[in-house]
Amino acid sequence: MIDNSETDAHAIYNAPFMDLLYRAQRVHRAHFEPSTIQCSKLLSIKTGGCPEDCSYCSQSARYDSELSASKMMEVQKVLNEARKAKAAGATRYCMGAAWRSPKARDMPGVLAMVRGVKEMGLETCMTLGMLTDDQAAQLREAGLDYYNHNIDTSERYYAEVITSRTFADRLDTLDRVRAAGINVCSGGIVGMGETADDRIDMLRTLASLEEPPESVPINMLMPMKGTPMADMAPLDPIEMVRTIATARILMPRAYVRLSAGRSEMSDELQALCFFAGANSIFVGDTLLTADNPGEDKDALLFNKLNLRAEVAEATPCPKPAEARAQEQAA
Ligand code: SAM
Ligand code: DTB
Ligand code: SF4
């Protein structure tokens, strides 16, 4: 039985490293095929000029990141990009916009993108900022499978990172997404100067949602020129591995995504993250604005580690009772 209490989550995160990895891998194997990785592709459908002040983000209009703002992409261009991503092996297409929240005039285009990508047989994901109930319902109706909205860090550290909206605002949008019947994708960033307790509390918040997220992206901060976090010292990578292992143990059924920052990670570190329970990545050579390893490097990595990309049909999870029994045995 998993206990999300403060003491239990601390004990998990701070366990002797070998015990933590062993436990995480056993939990992982009780729910997933351990060499299969879900592959998503990201596209920025509206870049830069964002009114929010997220200290890590190159797309905030408040910082001089030398990124030029663009209008929302045309629907056909997005669909062309999605077709290429499908041909390259992605099974989920994630479209992101640098908005605080979508405006009514943005919705027809956004909904057309969801419908078009869905028709190609790809899973759809959007990340557009805060949503109203009505917008969430429209997205669901159009066929949206996942909505990404990160809590980013602990409630305690949040105000050090973002002041233009609150932690509670983020949780409200997650509730709206869940109520609309869309799968929740929510995680955060490590390496923003937070403590281990902040990382643990972030994971506890996610695991304690009425229904935990189906997808949990763990991003390593990519320091962006011109932002307040441009000169942040890198986090000890072992802390990243501990964060992933703790996410896996606290949210056994979630896909845990080794998200931003892979371009700065060695093969060995990525291998440890997969062993700790990460089973999803972003493919392709760009995230939203930042670099990602790209197809050739990932093909080599998958080959070296005998990993394979998940095919369209998600790996079936064991039935809940069966999974619970396996978990207890672990
Ligand atoms: N504007 C929308 C929002 O904030 O919800 C969607 C796009 S936003 C760029 C999506 C997420 O990307 C952020 O919540 C954050 O977790 C992650 N992110 C952004 N910049 C990052 C960076 N420099 N390093 C790591 N993760 C980053
Ligand atoms: C998430 O957790 N990470 C992705 C996605 N959700 C939208 C974004 C990563 C952004 C990295 C920095 C950039 O590309 O600008
Ligand atoms: Fe805007 Fe999202 Fe970047 Fe924050 S993370 S500045 S909301 S694009």
Average of per-residue pLDDT values in the chain? 94
pLDDT tens digit sequence for 240-285: 999 999 999 999 999 999 999 999 999 999 999 999 999 999 999 9
Distance 188 CA to ligand 2 centre (A): 10
Alpha-carbon gap, residue 284 to 207, rounded angstroms: 29
H runs (alpha helix) in 39-179: 75-87, 107-119, 133-142, 155-161, 167-179
How many angstroms does the Cα of residue 178 sit away from the middle of ligand 3? 21
Position 317 scores a pLDDT of: 35
> Which sequence positions are flagged as catalytic?
50, 54, 57, 94, 125, 185, 257
Q: What is the pTM of this model?
A: 0.94
Q: How confident is the model at residue 66 (pLDDT cuts 50, 70, 90)?
A: confident
> Could you tell me which residue, 316 or 287, shows the higher pLDDT?
287
Cβ(193)–Cβ(230) below 8 Å: no
Ligand nearest to the CA of 289: 2
Instruction: Output the CA angle 263-251-324, nearest 5 degrees.
Output: 135
pLDDT score of 155 more than 80: yes
148 lines ligand 2 (CB under 6 A): yes
User: Three-state SS for 73?
Assistant: coil
DSSP letter, residue 227: S
What digits encode the pLDDT tens for the residues 106-130? 999 999 999 999 999 999 999 999 9
Closest residue CA from atom 2 of ligand 1: 129
Query: What is the Å distance from ligand 1's center to 163 Cα?
Result: 15
If you average pLDDT over residues 185-189, what whole number do you get?
Answer: 98
For ligand 3, say whether the CB of 150 is within 6 Å of any of its atoms: no
- Going by pLDDT thresholds of 50, 70 and 90, the confidence category of residue 68 is confident
Residues 6+ apart with CB under 8 A from 225: 58, 65, 66
Q: Is the CB of 187 under 6 A from ligand 2?
A: yes
Helix (H, G, I), strand (E, B) or coil at 268: helix
d(CA 179, CA 170): 14
Residue 10, token pair as written in the block:
């601390």
Residue 177 near residue 149 (C-beta atoms within 8 A): yes
